[in-house]
Amino acid sequence: MQSCAYVQANLGAPCRVFLTEDTPLYTVCCVGKHSVAVEIGPQPHGILRADVTLTMKRVVGLLLDFAHLFNTGHELPPTRVDHIFRTKERVNFPRDADGDLKGVIHPSLQDNDWSRLNPGDPIFLTLDEEVITWPGVSSSNEMYVAFVNEAAYYEKNLAFWLCTRESKQVAGLRRGATDVEK
């Protein structure tokens, strides 16, 4: 979390933290004790966007700067991490009895990752142009959406993630300290 706070403080652009602690992921970034993955976008496949490329370069540079500070014994003070989105539920596309897709993301939800979802908000539009709204049934009152309509998730039956939003105070960090918080 300290590395996330460091990037948030130095990036000069929105930086969200997507936590999947309760959701098993089967990716290379999850094999280490403290994994991290950087995703910047959206960016369509086969397209090179300068803004996305430059932001990725800046984030990777900041993460390397953070690792250098830690590895050279610099004490990193207690800090706060904002814009933490913790996964709570997977939402699938509407399907018919045969399992075929019968609806798409509603236009008002498209391109609105990280926004709050309220009960009654439209989430899908069926192929018959029926609007499907979010009932608001969840373990939390405030839910946010993430990775809405990502092409890579179609085969995983994932229309979007429902997340809670939080901030967290993290302890100071110094190499060799025994009371370091995860």
Q: Which position among 21, 39, 142, 166 bears the catalytic label? A: 39
Beta-carbon-side half-sphere exposure of residue 98 (alpha carbons within 13 Å): 3
Which is it for the CA torsion 59, 78, 34, 20, positive or negative?
negative
DSSP 117: E
CA torsion angle 21 26 171 5 (round to 10): -110
The DSSP output letter for 134 is -
Give φ, ψ of 82 to 5 degrees: -105, 170
Confirm whether 39 is a catalytic residue: yes
Which residues in 76-92 are b (16+ Cβ under 10 Å) and which e? beebebbbbbbbbeebe
Residues taking part in catalysis = 39
